[in-house]
Chains A and B, each alone.
Chain A
């Protein structure tokens, strides 16, 4: 740990009155922020608070509408990422800026300014890997690597340029708990070596673990700069969201009844070059319960969702049974007619057609009698239905019946979930229900799913967010490389046990160190 930063010199970087306007939207509004040398500084805020905009400005990807950046006290203008790197900034992006078909060494070489041959990159990569414990194979193609390994490439890529300030944007969102702990150790080490770190996150626990100072953004403004260890997680959350976040109530009386979904020995070959095969998946969901499926992205979640929804039918009908009927080989609409509902991960383009109005989007899953007859759309019925979803699920829309793409992520997700729940399905399967959604909307969505289960439906939630699953699920399983762990009541799971299952090392010990 570093001693308190109270050096007499100017801060390494100082932002003064940074604003960024997109049309009517003020994404950043007069933001002030200072980062001292060697400090790990957190930038906290909900999705849409303006964190990503701010770091893109700092990294020269977008231009601020107003404001000044000072580097070691000197005003600078950062017009491009190249200029940012020349100053000594390095950035690890949330959605990795990697090239899937290129090798690790090529991915690193392409981002380095100046003349770097692949062989010098290889030897440097070896040095850095050893110093910071970031193991990487230089000649593997990126698409074969796990999310943790991909992130290591991004970090090594930055470190090779000896940065003075490293920016990490939501770095743990794709990592297992063990991978995250490994990352924290690397960051502590870097900070001790004098490198400043700007750590962007909305996860309070890790910020409290890592940082001594945190700047909290809300609605594009700085609301506070605090010591995260001196405040409770609840107080910080209140600052981020602006009001007290209620918890999802799961205590309503409920009775678990008969099976609605039974999956037995479901195996599916991988869909493409980069796909994941499913192997011998067994899963039961009963009326009245929420079943959670945890796992790191890319371990077969989307394949499982496609097999359950019927987007990718299985070879035998009896591997998926919904409401007593074997449906493994039939399509999504036949499954809907049995009372099932599905919400895929991708909101735009999968759950909703971006350029269609919300009323037209109701037709996607309500194709039966209520909104269309003999092939004709019942326009008024569709509008009424859209309106009742909008009202029932607090969807904030810019106009009465907008195109789906005009809605923010959280509002569109509320609409899509509402569209399925309003049908009162016997079974609902939701993939990543609150991915990229603000806290208020996430709470509403989780509550709606829990309420649906308490009213007697079976709910299956596939999610990468462990906090979410612990909040809503009654029973939980972990998916890893296309295999599903046994389904156990949430009370029997610990985070550590889940982390081990996510890594596929639940049986043997010692595998964690192989990270």
Chain B
């Protein structure tokens, strides 16, 4: 395997968790709820999945535990922002801080443990094509799953009645309520879906990407996922592109550090985050305002009854 091939493979691995978490957040945001707790839900997903996988020696149970942790965190968030109509920004930040802290507690007994790599699906013949063979036809289930999820979400949002309802509620919850659409119910499920995706992304980090657990291992990926949703203008297709650009930035800076350019490693580590800021800046310059943002995004819904 050439170095070039290896780099391409690691880009896929680095991009997949960003894509999964961002897809979940995209659905949540299209329903009009801004959940800044992605980082915290990811951290909990990573800790719980790793704990379960090591305890029961089962990747499957680990993934299930990670998703469940994400869903429970999201349910807490839903209770606060839907049930009590609390400020979504404040609640989301609190969720991140809470998740990062709690994940440290859950994961503490498992520091130092390791998991074996999970199986890759090897599509015979096709995977033997040079360069692109291993890239496209010998990935793990998560990678193929994240691609399928992107397509499914895109179809769901544009082609199904329930997707139309979700978009309408995100666009204008007052009108949606006046028409009798179930604002709370749809948002509740959208928030839980976002939590499940964040938990899954966390599980991927712990079980596939690093295969160990350490506190703070999410390292800001939740925030990058949030920025990606804006970068993609709330469109799943663009999210896929964006996730891979940012995944590439993460990996390439590592290789750049290894190649020892005359640039301090700290500066290189900052590249993906700087790229996030730059992307947001360029977007706002080009369009004047956040085009595509759901109209009711981040606004608490309080009907008059």
Q: Which residues of A contact B (CB under 8 A)?
A: 60-63, 80-82, 84-85, 91, 93, 96-102, 106, 109-111, 115-116, 272-273
Tell whether A100 pairs with B295 under 8 Å between CB atoms, given A80-B180, A81-B180, A110-B181: yes
Tell whether A109 pairs with B164 under 8 Å between CB atoms, given A97-B179, A100-B295, A101-B171: yes
B304 contacts the other chain (CB 8 A): yes
Q: How far is the CA of A93 from the CA of B178 in the complex (A)?
A: 9
CB <8 Å contact, B288 and A96: no
B134 contacts the other chain (CB 8 A): no
Q: How far is the CA of A273 from the CA of B295 in the complex (A)?
A: 14
Q: List 18 A-B contacts (CB under 8 A).
A: A61-B177, A63-B305, A81-B179, A82-B180, A91-B178, A97-B175, A97-B176, A97-B179, A99-B167, A100-B295, A106-B164, A109-B164, A110-B168, A110-B179, A116-B161, A272-B288, A272-B289, A273-B287
- The 8 Å CB contact of B179, one of A62, A106, A111, is A111
* 3 nearest A-B pairs in the assembled complex, by CB-CB distance: A81-B180, A97-B175, A82-B180
CB <8 Å contact, B178 and A61: yes
CB <8 Å contact, B175 and A96: yes
Query: In the complex, which residues 138-183 of chain B have their Cβ closer than 8 Å to any Cβ of chain A?
Result: 161, 164-165, 167-168, 171-172, 174-181
B291 contacts the other chain (CB 8 A): yes
With both beta carbons as reference points, the residue of chain A lying nearest to B293 in the complex is identified as: A101
Q: Mark B9-46, 1 if CB is under 8 A from A, else 0.
A: 00000000000000000000000000000000000000
Query: Please, which residues of chain B bring their CB within 8 A of the CB of A85?
Result: 180
CB <8 Å contact, A99 and B178: no
With both beta carbons as reference points, the residue of chain B lying nearest to A113 in the complex is identified as: B180
* Nearest Cβ on chain A to B244's Cβ, whole angstroms: 27
Query: Please, which residues of chain B bring their CB within 8 A of the CB of A93?
Result: 175, 178
CB <8 Å contact, A81 and B178: yes
CB <8 Å contact, B181 and A99: no
Tell whether A102 pairs with B168 under 8 Å between CB atoms, given A96-B175, A97-B175, A110-B179: yes
Please name 19 further chain A to chain B contacts, defined as beta carbons within 8 Å, in addition to the given A81-B178, A99-B176, sorted by A numbering. A61-B178, A62-B304, A62-B305, A63-B305, A84-B180, A85-B180, A93-B178, A97-B172, A97-B175, A100-B171, A101-B167, A102-B168, A106-B168, A109-B161, A110-B164, A111-B180, A272-B289, A273-B287, A273-B288
Q: Which residues of B contact A (CB under 8 A)?
A: 161, 164-165, 167-168, 171-172, 174-181, 287-289, 291-292, 295, 304-305
Q: How far is the CA of A421 from the CA of B180 in the complex (A)?
A: 45
With both beta carbons as reference points, the residue of chain B lying nearest to A85 in the complex is identified as: B180
Tell whether A97 pairs with B165 under 8 Å between CB atoms, given A62-B305, A273-B289, A273-B291: no
* Nearest Cβ on chain A to B209's Cβ, whole angstroms: 36
* Nearest Cβ on chain B to A382's Cβ, whole angstroms: 30
Query: Please, which residues of chain B bring their CB within 8 A of the CB of A101?
Result: 167, 171, 292, 295
* Nearest Cβ on chain B to A124's Cβ, whole angstroms: 16
With both beta carbons as reference points, the residue of chain A lying nearest to B304 in the complex is identified as: A62
Query: Please, which residues of chain A bring their CB within 8 A of the CB of B178?
Result: 61, 81, 91, 93, 97
Q: How far is the CA of A61 from the CA of B291 in the complex (A)?
A: 31
Q: How far is the CA of A85 from the CA of B292 in the complex (A)?
A: 31
With both beta carbons as reference points, the residue of chain A lying nearest to B181 in the complex is identified as: A110
* Nearest Cβ on chain A to B182's Cβ, whole angstroms: 9
Q: How far is the CA of A101 from the CA of B296 in the complex (A)?
A: 12
CB <8 Å contact, B161 and A115: yes
Query: Please, which residues of chain A bring their CB within 8 A of the CB of B168?
Result: 99, 102, 106, 110
Query: Please, which residues of chain B bring their CB within 8 A of the CB of A80?
Result: 180
Q: How far is the CA of A98 from the CA of B201 in the complex (A)?
A: 36
Q: How far is the CA of A338 from the CA of B181 in the complex (A)?
A: 52
* Nearest Cβ on chain A to B80's Cβ, whole angstroms: 23
Query: Please, which residues of chain A bring their CB within 8 A of the CB of B172?
Result: 97-100
Indicate the member of B177, B180, B289 with the most A CB atoms within 10 Å: B180
Q: How far is the CA of A238 from the CA of B164 in the complex (A)?
A: 47
* Nearest Cβ on chain A to B283's Cβ, whole angstroms: 14
Query: Please, which residues of chain B bring their CB within 8 A of the CB of A106?
Result: 164, 168
Q: How far is the CA of A85 from the CA of B178 in the complex (A)?
A: 12
Q: How far is the CA of A289 from the CA of B289 in the complex (A)?
A: 40
With both beta carbons as reference points, the residue of chain B lying nearest to A98 in the complex is identified as: B175
Query: Please, which residues of chain B bring their CB within 8 A of the CB of A110?
Result: 164-165, 168, 176, 179, 181
Indicate the member of A60, A80, A101 with the most B CB atoms within 10 Å: A101
CB <8 Å contact, A102 and B175: no
* Nearest Cβ on chain B to A60's Cβ, whole angstroms: 7
Query: Please, which residues of chain A bring their CB within 8 A of the CB of B174?
Result: 97
* Nearest Cβ on chain B to A174's Cβ, whole angstroms: 16
* Nearest Cβ on chain A to B170's Cβ, whole angstroms: 9
Q: How far is the CA of A174 from the CA of B181 in the complex (A)?
A: 26
With both beta carbons as reference points, the residue of chain B lying nearest to A53 in the complex is identified as: B304
Query: Please, which residues of chain B bring their CB within 8 A of the CB of A116?
Result: 161
Query: Please, which residues of chain B bring their CB within 8 A of the CB of A62?
Result: 304-305
Query: Please, which residues of chain A bring their CB within 8 A of the CB of B171?
Result: 99-102
CB <8 Å contact, B180 and A60: yes
With both beta carbons as reference points, the residue of chain A lying nearest to B180 in the complex is identified as: A81
Query: Please, which residues of chain B bring their CB within 8 A of the CB of A273?
Result: 287-289, 291
Q: How far is the CA of A308 from the CA of B164 in the complex (A)?
A: 41
With both beta carbons as reference points, the residue of chain A lying nearest to B289 in the complex is identified as: A272
Indicate the member of A62, A84, A99, A116 with the most B CB atoms within 10 Å: A99
* Nearest Cβ on chain A to B236's Cβ, whole angstroms: 16
With both beta carbons as reference points, the residue of chain B lying nearest to A142 in the complex is identified as: B171
Query: Please, which residues of chain B bring their CB within 8 A of the CB of A63?
Result: 305
CB <8 Å contact, A99 and B175: yes
Query: Please, which residues of chain B bring their CB within 8 A of the CB of A84?
Result: 180
Q: How far is the CA of A105 from the CA of B163 in the complex (A)?
A: 14
Q: How far is the CA of A62 from the CA of B304 in the complex (A)?
A: 7
* Nearest Cβ on chain B to A102's Cβ, whole angstroms: 7
Indicate the member of A80, A84, A93, A111 with the most B CB atoms within 10 Å: A111
Query: Please, which residues of chain B bring their CB within 8 A of the CB of A96?
Result: 175
Query: Please, which residues of chain B bring their CB within 8 A of the CB of A100?
Result: 171-172, 295
Query: Please, which residues of chain A bring their CB within 8 A of the CB of B176?
Result: 97, 99, 110
Q: How far is the CA of A495 from the CA of B9 in the complex (A)?
A: 72
